[in-house]
Copies of this chain bind each other. A is one copy, B any other.
Amino acid sequence: MYDAFLAVCPSRQLLERISGKWVVLILSALGSGPDCTGDPRPMRYSELSRLLSGVSQKMLTQTLRALERDGLVSRTVTPTVPVTVTYELTDLGLSLHRLMRDVKAWAETNMDDVAASRVTYDEAGAR
């Protein structure tokens, strides 16, 4: 029915949204906590902000909003003072989390092989 190979297919735009480092990292984090080994659990905005080092407030908020709009995360506001906001995976988000977690793990696992390949490639080019 849908085919992301087609530029006009809505799934192409969806693929565009869900590919991107911040989506991968946010979904990885929410799915299993900071160490990526536990069970899915809600996380606070500030907790995410600290965990994903280098993320700007703007990108974090923007990405979380997009994920919320797409039904992948839910946003809960607790009226404490100051306010507490938690983000949690929906069932839909959880299904994507599993893939994103694997992608993040792939990058970490194969970093050495990729680095070695780059050295070889660049050396060949220099000659």
Name A residues whose Cβ lies closer than 8 Å to a Cβ of B.
1-8, 10-12, 14-16, 18-21, 23-25, 28-29, 34, 51-54, 68-72, 92, 95-96, 99, 102-104, 106-108, 110-111, 113-118, 120-122
Contacts and interface: CB of A to CB of B under 8 A. Distances in A.
Contacts of A95: 106, 110
A82 B2 CA distance: 35
Number of copies: 2
A68 B102 CA distance: 22
Contacts of A96: 106, 110
Contacts of A34: 5
Contact of A10 (B25, B106, B111, B113): B111
B111 A11 contact: yes
A90 to B, nearest CB: 9
A24 B15 contact: yes
